[in-house]
Structure 1
Amino acid sequence: MIRRLPLLALGALVVVLHVFPISANDLWMHLLLGQDILRDGIPQQEIYSYTAAGQPFVYHEWLAGVLFHFLDALGGSTLLILLQPVCVLLTVGLLYGLCRSLGADAHITVLVLAAGIYVSSFRLFLRPHLLVVPLLAATLLLLQRLRSPGRWTAVALLVVVQVLWTNLHGSFPEGIILAGLFGAGEWARRRFFAAEEKEAGLTPLWVFALVPVVLAAASLLNPYGWKLLWLAVAHPVDPLFQARIFEYFPPFSAAFRGTRMFWLFLGWLVLLLAGLWSGRKRLDPAYLLPAAGFLVLSLWMNRAIPELVMVSLPLVAVGLSTQAARLTQLWKPLLVLALAVSSVLAFGYRFDSQTVRRFGLGIDPFTPVAAADTLQDLGFSGNLFCSFPYGSYLAYRLAPRARVVFDSRTIPYGTDLYQQFRDARSSLEGFQRHLARYPVDAVLLNFKLDGAPDLHGFLGNSPDWGLVYFDEEAVLYLRRSTATAALLDRRRIVCANPVLFDQRGIPPELAAQCRKECGRLLAANPDAVLPRFFLAAALEAEGRLAEALSETDRLLASGVRRSYVHRLRATLFQALEQPQKVAQETRTADALERR
């Protein structure tokens, strides 16, 4: 049991890295599609948006959608979240068994797996791509088993894995590529590195040549036939993906280079080179060629980095096992893993300077839950223009009564619609062109991602639009019509309007109305930062300084660090004649603004 402690510590690292609130915005569309597939069958055309309605739609991840919907119906968000560590633990188990069968040291393998999982974790979250990682590991393990004669069971299992992969995620050609490169490497090994081996004791090479063909044929077992094969090839080279979708950016592009993920990727490349150098006398071309192929793929688009890690991991583990004598004491790998687990629990998993993923359950605060609740409460139906990350969740919550402008899918939209949508989000002129083209009944924007001041100013000042909800992320406007006029007269937010807010504060004559509006907003979302700030500002305008200070205390206690909160606190302390605290709050606000 004691000897298994490093494996248990590795399992703990996997759990703390992959149990975190749901943040994948496209999960919600998969849940909706999975539900509709069980009711109506595989979709053939787009029905959830008002911009691409009726367009052909190939849902290449249909099986993942059904699986996600089943888990959600069975155990809600908690069971969905637990799928993440389960998939990664399965991957770890398969790769550990493979590395050990190749002669890698147990302690070295555990540490290399820990490094590989940590590097890959930025892509391992709740979306169909997560399901690919154990399938990739299973494919590699089955190809290794195929080296022994009489292993036709391995071929049959490879076919099963490939069929599952094809219907779970569009990256299934990687299985065919992996089999082809492994077979080519096996041929090179026998031709140049192990010519003395007797052919009678080995699987014939023609079997390795046949496997990629069989897997390609197996990939046709999907609801769309050969169209899915074409889509899987054309999808990654689409200019829309290459130019706009972050996961398709090369790792050395300017956008990716500025992230912590880039440095983790470089760290793995260094580890790979160290493994190749240490194990240079026992390199296996059957693993070297796939590693080279997936390195090229990962240099083309960063979404393939986890696949590179998994495919090259046996090379690293076997190569570094030449240094195993330095890790004979059990406490060394345990110490490394304990520090890694403690670091993730204390500081989270950091993507860049501002984005941190923390251990926990539930739904990420970025998701517009309260805004969708408000739309449901209003009985909204019609066309909903929204920020790009919001589309899938809003379709999940509001379809079929509401149709969104765009969501996390790209297949039914195409480059032209995406560009029109991007222009409408980024400028008032583009938004007005969109209004002339489509009837829009509501607008839900993100303050940070859709920050064009003239667009927010237009919606905030126009008599045709009324603000009905906001928090620190989302702002919701409803269009005035015959059906919504009475509703807007009751629910429109006038005084606590973040778009029209005057830095001089809330006028005393509007403070009571502002408090009433903030109370309604906080009833919908008690954790909302901006409404509570406005409530504090309204209390300050009425001279209720202690109550205002109490509201800002609640914000600070919840972990909020915003310069405008500290500016308000400085004003409150000045009115309370506490100059030392005024100076302290001012310094904190200045520091936050400089950051």
Structure 2
Amino acid sequence: MKTFFLPRIRDVLFFAIFAGVLALGPQMLNMDGDLPRHLLMGKIVLETKTVPTTDIFSYVYEGRPLIPHEWLAGVIFFLFYSKLGLDGIVLLSALLLSITFTLVYDYALLRCGARFPSLILVVWGAATSSLHWLVRPHLFTMLFLAIFLILADRLIRDEFKQVWLFPVLMVIWANLHAEFVAGLLVLAAYCAGWIFDIFLKRTNINFVLGKRLGVATILSILATLVNPAGFHTWETVFGYVNNRYLMLRIMETRPPDFSQPQFLILLALLIFCIVLVLLRIRKLGTGTLIALAGFSAMSIFSARNVHLYGVVAPVLLACALTGSAEIPALKTLEKIFAVVERSVRGFLWPGVTVFLLSGLLLGGQLGMVNEFSAKTFPVRALNWLEMNPQHGRMFNAFDWGGYILFNMWPTQLAFIDSQTDVHGDITREYERAISLEEGWQDVFTKYDIRWVIIPKKWHLVGALAFQGWRDVYHDELAVILVRP
């Protein structure tokens, strides 16, 4: 007898991730200052029906070329925000993450053939990626990476022939987030694996398959050019990655510190990956091994890539677990899961989850308030500025730039924000000023800065006060100083 009211394992996974993200919503909104800037970009695009290609956010870079490689994510974020407020942004994030890992589980189960090992692998990957569960465009990247991986893996197995789908997806991805490069790396890994198989004189080389891989890769590369900045979008990608100054100064671009507890789950997954590959290497294709090695290395070199590894590892390691259902310790458990799953057809549970939890969140029944926290952003200071506007150029804290722009643009442009400086020029001057390095006063003279809004605890506050700058507002977090 089929039971239509019981959830399947995939439904439980979907519910757990969706509910987990809702619970983390207030934290995810306030971990950095990127979201307000994305919201502003989305608002501008929707109101003007154009995508800015010159900088209109920082007076330092005003008029210079701008690479809006995340404009589409900003539009989607703002659409949800305009209808549902920040609750809508959290709901979108929950939906993206739960769909991503449900797709990963479905494919891992298809390749592994055992529910429990697949579930453990996917939950492990999700937990690893949770280090970067922030409300940013990279949530779209995680979903598109999962789709690209699945389609590419099916393509290499000759189970999928619709090559045109890769460039179509890439056009969307390249306008959502700069990490679209991850999709190209997946295709490149499989192409390299196919070529290696030829040199290794493997039998049964499928040249039609190689042609499909090559076409998918070339068309996907060309598809990345379909964006407001054209080929200039690659300047941002390579310029940022090759900029050692910025890479060393941004915390998330540094290598993960495995002495910190939050990175131990990544370390464990990396070790498990190495051990599993050594034990079951014959079950993994050459392209799969190259992709695993590449994304493993990326997660070691930069903490910013951890969320990618959390998606890649479960998909690619699943086939190495083929036959695990026959392990004595798992056999009985797997039989129980199989019997239950065969009798369950509760396919509506993901929809019920979204509908029910969304209703509870929007109705204020979950006891959570999704807002920009006054402990993170200068909320009270900007409320004061609304009634007491300051004139002239301002100097602001890096992490506050996006929030200030979202609330004050176009009346006030920022000195710096988390999206503006991809070259490092302004970051150097910013660091010189806040660190009170030799010549720090020159920064304020050079840009004719008339007032500042910075954290109250900074030493710069005392230095400016000593120079005669007036304290016109302060609270527990922020201070506003005006030049004499």
Separation in structure 2 between the aligned mates of residue 3 and residue 184 of structure 1, nearest angstrom: 44
Partner of 1:329: 333
Residue 236 (structure 2) pairs with residue 231 (structure 1): yes
| 1:188/1:4 CA distance change after superposition, 3 Å | farther
Indicate which of 25, 35, 38 corresponds to 1:30: 38
Question: Deviation per CA, 1:184-208, whole angstroms, max 9, x where unpaired?
Answer: 324556886973x595xx9532211
Partner of 2:168: 160
What letter matches 1:308 in structure 2?
A: Y
The alpha carbon displacement at 1:78 in A equals: 0.4
The alpha carbon displacement at 1:244 in A equals: 1.2
Map 1:53-68 onto structure 2 (within 5 A).
53-68=62-77
Indicate which of 51, 55, 72 corresponds to 1:46: 55
Partner of 1:249: 254
Partner of 2:346: none
| 1:28/1:215 CA distance change after superposition, 3 Å | same
Partner of 1:368: 378
Separation in structure 2 between the aligned mates of residue 224 and residue 129 of structure 1, nearest angstrom: 19
Q: Aligned with 2:333: secondary structure? A: coil
Partner of 2:14: 11
Residue 289 (structure 2) pairs with residue 288 (structure 1): yes
Indicate which of 374, 377, 380 corresponds to 2:387: 377
Separation in structure 2 between the aligned mates of residue 70 and residue 392 of structure 1, nearest angstrom: 18
| 1:467/1:198 CA distance change after superposition, 3 Å | closer
Separation in structure 1 between the aligned mates of residue 6 and residue 113 of structure 2, nearest angstrom: 16
Partner of 1:469: 474
- Does structure 2 retain, via aligned residues, the 8 Å contact 1:42–1:62? yes
Question: Deviation per CA, 1:421-451, whole angstroms, max 9, x where unpaired?
Answer: 1111121755422222223232221245xx3
Q: Aligned with 1:468: secondary structure? A: strand
Partner of 2:105: 96
- Does structure 2 retain, via aligned residues, the 8 Å contact 1:63–1:168? yes
- Does structure 2 retain, via aligned residues, the 8 Å contact 1:287–1:314? no
| 1:283/1:404 CA distance change after superposition, 3 Å | same
The alpha carbon displacement at 1:48 in A equals: 2.0
Partner of 2:307: 306
What is the TM-score of this pair, normalised by structure 2? 0.83
The alpha carbon displacement at 1:118 in A equals: 0.7
Question: Deviation per CA, 1:92-144, whole angstroms, max 9, x where unpaired?
Answer: 12212221222341111111111111111111311111110010010011112
| 1:106/1:203 CA distance change after superposition, 3 Å | farther
- C-alpha RMSD of the superposition: 2.9
Question: Deviation per CA, 1:536-586, whole angstroms, max 9, x where unpaired?
Answer: xxxxxxxxxxxxxxxxxxxxxxxxxxxxxxxxxxxxxxxxxxxxxxxxxxx
Q: Which stretch shows the higher mean deviation, 125-134 or 182-191?
A: 182-191
Indicate which of 457, 466, 469 corresponds to 2:462: 457
Give identity over the alignment, percent: 25
Map 1:482-501 onto structure 2 (within 5 A).
none
What is the TM-score of this pair, normalised by structure 1? 0.68
| 1:277/1:6 CA distance change after superposition, 3 Å | farther
Partner of 1:423: 432
What letter matches 2:146 in structure 1?
A: A
Separation in structure 2 between the aligned mates of residue 250 and residue 332 of structure 1, nearest angstrom: 42
The alpha carbon displacement at 1:266 in A equals: 0.8
Q: Aligned with 2:179: secondary structure? A: coil
Partner of 2:400: 390
Question: Deviation per CA, 1:483-516, whole angstroms, max 9, x where unpaired?
Answer: xxxxxxxxxxxxxxxxxxxxxxxxxxxxxxxxxx
Aligned residues: 442
What letter matches 1:31 in structure 2?
A: L
- Does structure 2 retain, via aligned residues, the 8 Å contact 1:278–1:320? no
Indicate which of 174, 189, 198 corresponds to 2:182: 174
Separation in structure 2 between the aligned mates of residue 372 and residue 331 of structure 1, nearest angstrom: 60
* Structure 1 residue runs without a partner (length 5+): 334-357, 481-595
Question: Deviation per CA, 1:457-500, whole angstroms, max 9, x where unpaired?
Answer: 244466541241211x32233445xxxxxxxxxxxxxxxxxxxx
| 1:32/1:332 CA distance change after superposition, 3 Å | farther
What letter matches 2:168 in structure 1?
A: V
| 1:444/1:15 CA distance change after superposition, 3 Å | same
| 1:269/1:440 CA distance change after superposition, 3 Å | same
Q: Aligned with 2:99: secondary structure? A: helix
Question: Deviation per CA, 1:287-311, whole angstroms, max 9, x where unpaired?
Answer: 2111112222223322112222322
* Structure 2 residue runs without a partner (length 5+): 338-366
What letter matches 1:224 in structure 2?
A: A
Q: Which stretch shows the higher mean deviation, 457-466 or 204-213?
A: 457-466
Higher relative contact order (CA closer than 8 Å, sequence separation 6+): 2
Partner of 2:210: 205
What letter matches 2:233 in structure 1?
A: L
- Does structure 2 retain, via aligned residues, the 8 Å contact 1:146–1:203? no
Q: Aligned with 1:310: secondary structure? A: helix
| 1:3/1:331 CA distance change after superposition, 3 Å | farther
Question: Deviation per CA, 1:371-401, whole angstroms, max 9, x where unpaired?
Answer: 2111112133432211111111001101111
- Does structure 2 retain, via aligned residues, the 8 Å contact 1:13–1:114? no
The alpha carbon displacement at 1:319 in A equals: 2.9
Separation in structure 2 between the aligned mates of residue 301 and residue 368 of structure 1, nearest angstrom: 30
Question: Deviation per CA, 1:327-358, whole angstroms, max 9, x where unpaired?
Answer: 4437999xxxxxxxxxxxxxxxxxxxxxxxx9
